């Protein structure tokens, strides 16, 4: 049975609401109740074992009730169950990685090589004493500096001074990082529109904002150590922040991978008080060797 046919059949048995009652309320409460009944049925399965003769039949019955209420609610909201199901699949596809080899968009292929993010490179984070404080000096493979020395810019030392690792992870995993382009002198100046909209000050500010936002989240979650998934609300916010940029085509799953990759590198840099970060944009990897 397909979803449109199921929905048409379901609403034939949908009772009209009582006078003065919100027509959504009864099916909404019914869905909540059936979800509880489904949980109870599974509890019994756990308690009595899967071989319990009523187990499979009861689970099927409760799932059928849940589906009926979903069809009824879709009708009350003026939605087609078929569209609801399709949207749910698209959301899941966006949120969860299917394979590490999922399609990888390269945003700068059409630009001259000197304006492309380097497909392979390494940058070294070196703690240095400067004016009585410890700063991180970031250098390219040829020893030239990449950007200005960084402190944690906080009254509480939390090693945010290593945060360029997050930008390098964005470059490696997403193929996108206005900050990394700035640090490496890879802005796409041959196309002024792209240079302004994608590599300019606003895009850089957005990426720095994402870095600070995720750091606040990570600080409350052991800096993502031994964590394999990030709250969907955070990924949704990042998606909203970047929707107008080229990276807006990346999925939430890609962002999750980039964030976790960046924090793996950041924790290693923090533990060893520096080191060299190796980017491989083709393999979408970031590796750290201690100093």
Residue 139, C-beta contacts closer than 8 angstroms, at least 6 positions apart: 123, 124, 126, 145, 146
17 located within any domain? yes
101 located within any domain? no
Residue 73 and residue 139 in one domain: no
pLDDT tens track for 48-57: 776 666 778 8
pLDDT of residue 55: 79
91 located within any domain? yes
Q: Which of 63, 95, 127 corresponds to the end of one domain?
A: 95
102 located within any domain? no
Task: Of 283, 238, 279, 239, give the one whose Cα is nearest residue 262.
Answer: 279
pLDDT of residue 103: 60
Residue 247 and residue 151 in one domain: yes
With b for 16 or more beta-carbon neighbours within 10 A and e for fewer, the 179-202 pattern comes to bbbbbbebbbeeeeebbeebbeee
The string of DSSP codes covering 41-70 is HHHHHHHH-TT-TTHHHHHHHHHHHHHHHH
| Neighbour tally for 67: CB within 10 Å | 17
Alpha carbon distance 196, 172 (integer Å): 22
Q: What is the mean pLDDT of residues 51-68?
A: 84
Residue 75 and residue 118 in one domain: no
At residue 106 the predicted structure's pLDDT band, cuts being 50, 70 and 90, is confident
- Would you state the structure tokens that stand for residue 28, as one six-digit string? 């909404």
107 located within any domain? no
pLDDT of residue 277: 98
The radius of gyration computed from the CA coordinates of the chain, to the nearest angstrom, equals: 25
Q: Which of 38, 69, 95 corresponds to the end of one domain?
A: 95
81 located within any domain? yes
Alpha carbon distance 266, 252 (integer Å): 21
**128: containing domain:** 113-289
Residue 219 and residue 266 in one domain: yes
100 located within any domain? no
pLDDT of residue 263: 98
Q: What is the mean pLDDT of residues 228-239?
A: 95
pLDDT tens track for 69-85: 999 999 999 999 999 98
Task: Of 193, 27, 234, give the one whose Cα is nearest residue 111.
Answer: 193
Residue 252 and residue 139 in one domain: yes
Alpha carbon distance 71, 89 (integer Å): 16
Q: How many folded domains does the chain comprise?
A: 2
Alpha carbon distance 246, 261 (integer Å): 21
Query: Residue 58 maps to which CATH number?
Result: 1.10.287.1080
E-strand stretches of the chain: 120-130, 133-139, 275-280, 285-289
pLDDT of residue 207: 98
Residue 36 and residue 180 in one domain: no
Residue 219 and residue 280 in one domain: yes
């Amino acid at each position: 049975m397909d979803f449109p046919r199921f929905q048409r059949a379901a609403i034939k048995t949908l009772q009209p609401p009582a006078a003065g009652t919100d027509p959504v309320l009864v099916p909404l409460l019914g869905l909540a109740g059936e979800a509880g009944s489904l949980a109870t049925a599974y509890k019994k399965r756990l308690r009595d074992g899967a071989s319990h003769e009523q187990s499979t039949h009861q689970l099927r019955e409760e799932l059928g009730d849940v589906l009926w209420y979903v069809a009824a609610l879709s009708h009350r909201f003026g939605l087609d169950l078929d569209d609801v199901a399709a949207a749910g699949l698209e959301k899941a596809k966006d949120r969860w990685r299917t394979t590490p080899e999922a399609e990888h968009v390269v945003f700068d292929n059409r630009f001259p090589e000197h304006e492309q993010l380097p497909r392979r490179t390494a940058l070294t984070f070196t703690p240095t004493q400067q004016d009585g404080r410890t700063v991180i000096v970031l250098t390219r493979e040829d020893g030239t500096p990449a950007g200005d020395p960084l402190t944690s810019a906080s009254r509480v030392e939390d090693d945010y001074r290593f945060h360029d690792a997050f930008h390098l992870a964005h470059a490696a995993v997403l193929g996108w990082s206005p900050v990394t382009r700035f640090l490496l002198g890879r802005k796409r100046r041959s196309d002024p529109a792209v240079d302004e909209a994608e590599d300019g000050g606003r895009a850089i500010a957005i990426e720095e904002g994402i870095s600070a936002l995720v750091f606040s989240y990570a600080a409350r979650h052991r800096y993502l150590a031994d964590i394999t998934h990030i709250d969907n609300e955070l990924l949704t916010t990042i998606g909203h922040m970047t929707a107008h940029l080229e990276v807006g085509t990346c999925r939430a799953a890609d962002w999750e991978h980039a964030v976790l990759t960046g924090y793996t590198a950041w924790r290693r840099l923090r533990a060893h008080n520096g080191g060299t970060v190796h980017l491989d944009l083709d393999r979408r990897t970031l590796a750290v060797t201690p100093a």
